[in-house]
Amino acid sequence: MTRAFLRLAVCCLALPSGILFAQDASSGPVQATPRVVPALTPVRIEILEAQGSAISKPDAHFPIRLVDPVLLDGKTIIPAGATGEGEVVHAKKSSMSGGPGELILAARWLDVNGHQVRLRSMHLSENGKSSIKDVNRIMIASAATVPVAAMLGWFMKGKEVVVPSGTYAEAKLAADFSVEP
Amino acid sequence: MRLKHLAIFAAVAVGGLSVPAMAYDTPPELMMVVPPAPKGKGLVVFYRSASIFGAAISCAVSENDKKISSMGVGRYFVYAAEPGKHSFSVSSEAKDQVTLELEADEVQYVGCRIKMGIMAGRPDLFPAKEADFRGNKKLSLSDPKSYGEGVLKPEEIATLAGVTVTTPAAAH
């Protein structure tokens, strides 16, 4: 009985010191590991200014806003409503012979606590309705019958692209985004 | 019958008189194959539907006035480039241009069609989606002889896509 008490006492003394030893060996000064939102994480953004093939200019910038918060382990890393900027990559008005308008927009960055978080892969690329096939049909038909009428098709235009303010688009984070815990 | 002949003549003649020599036979295993982008690069697939209109006109695509490649009717080619903005153009009696933002490890699509012009048909480049490209049942690779720098050769496409080519390509 006395031996059993002694063993128990030794165990009780040894256990905490063992834990302490394990802690000493593993850590040293405790360092917080930054949490990382990985590159290519999808984000949904809202275009805050109307764009269009007839009104947008290449290289022009426009305001955007994050629609859904970016979460990591259930915690908000980038809040919904964070604002940023997009850019017009390509804009072409509709043209003669039924050519439709064309528009390519890109998301550039979001402002997070004064830092620009770069975005990529916002594939909002739209073409207006093309009338080229209609024009070509008119042209072929009229060239075979009344050649002069073929020129009428040349004056037909395709439809413009319109992206209203408030349009949602998908983009991705361009690089890892680290946050101090 | 006479009308039909006239219509075909009109459709082809709109493009001019020269017929591009684009008689490269794509190995069947590579028809419509688009490989993943080489690591860190962006890909652009340029294609042209098999429309008879302006068939005599070739879509010769350039970047910074340097020819990349050309396409006849029902052809495509795959161009690999560094990420960033790239402006591609085609020209005949008028110039048309499309600017893309290439992203690393991603594929984008650009179509080429022939619009009616005053004296001849005008090639027109337009941004497209994969579905537009896939909407063309059969597109063959354009002739590798016309490839400039950055255009993936058939054997490079096969390697990147993991396709084994058993049928040798032929050019007529």
Contact A127 B126 (CB under 8 A): yes
What chain B residue is nearest to A103 in terms of C-alpha separation?
B127
- Give me chain B's average pLDDT, please: 84
- List the structure tokens of B166: 């058993």
Nearest residue to B154 (alpha-carbon basis) of B7, B6, B30, B17: B30
Q: Which helix (H) or strand (E) holds B13?
A: helix B2-13
Cβ atoms within 10 A of the Cβ of A11, count?
10
Closest-CA distance, A121 to chain B, in angstroms, reads 7
Residue in A102, A141, A153 closest to B127 by CB? A102
- List the structure tokens of A85: 């900027």
Q: Print burial letters for A84-111: b (CB count within 10 Å at least 16), e (below 16).
A: bbbbbbbbbbbbbbbbbbbbbbbbbbbe
| Contact between B125 and B90 (Cβ < 8 Å) | yes
| Residue B33 to residue B165: CA distance in whole angstroms | 12
Indicate if the pLDDT at residue A100 is higher than 50. Answer: yes
Domain count, chain A: 1
Contact A104 B116 (CB under 8 A): no
Place of tokens 């069609």: B113
For residue B55, the model assigns a pLDDT of: 75
> Is A161 an interface residue toward B (CB < 8 Å)?
no
- Give me chain A's average pLDDT, please: 78
| Residue B160 to residue B38: CA distance in whole angstroms | 7
Would residue A52 count as lying in a domain? Answer: yes
| Residue A101 to residue A51: CA distance in whole angstroms | 12
- Give the structural domain span for A101: 35-179
Task: Report pLDDT digits (tens) over A121-154.
Answer: 987 756 655 555 665 665 555 555 555 555 555 5
Contact A140 B7 (CB under 8 A): yes
Indicate if the pLDDT at residue B8 is higher than 50. Answer: no
Would residue A69 count as lying in a domain? Answer: yes
For residue A147, the model assigns a pLDDT of: 57
Residues in Cβ contact with A168 at an 8 Å cutoff, skipping those fewer than 6 apart: A44, A45, A46, A47, A67
Would residue A30 count as lying in a domain? Answer: no
> Is B21 an interface residue toward A (CB < 8 Å)?
no
| Residue A18 to residue A25: CA distance in whole angstroms | 11
| Residue B60 to residue B62: CA distance in whole angstroms | 7
Closest-CA distance, A26 to chain B, in angstroms, reads 38
Task: Report pLDDT digits (tens) over B68-88.
Answer: 999 999 999 999 999 999 999
Would residue A4 count as lying in a domain? Answer: no
What chain A residue is nearest to B110 in terms of C-alpha separation?
A125
Query: What are B80's strand-pairing partners?
Result: B43
* Domain CATH code at residue A103: 2.40.128.260
- List the structure tokens of A34: 């930054």
CB pairs under 8 A between A and B: 71
Would residue A20 count as lying in a domain? Answer: no
> Is B3 an interface residue toward A (CB < 8 Å)?
yes
Closest-CA distance, B11 to chain A, in angstroms, reads 6
Three-state DSSP string of B97-122:
EEEEEECCCCEEEEEEEEECCCCCCE
Would residue A19 count as lying in a domain? Answer: no
Global ipTM: 0.81
Place of tokens 């109307």: A50
For B20, counting Cβ atoms within 10 Å of its Cβ (0-12 exposed, 13-18 middle, 19+ buried), the class is: buried
For residue B91, the model assigns a pLDDT of: 82
| Residue B28 to residue A50: CA distance in whole angstroms | 46
Cα torsion B128, B45, A58, A109: sign? positive
Would residue A24 count as lying in a domain? Answer: no
Contact A104 B100 (CB under 8 A): yes
Would residue A95 count as lying in a domain? Answer: yes
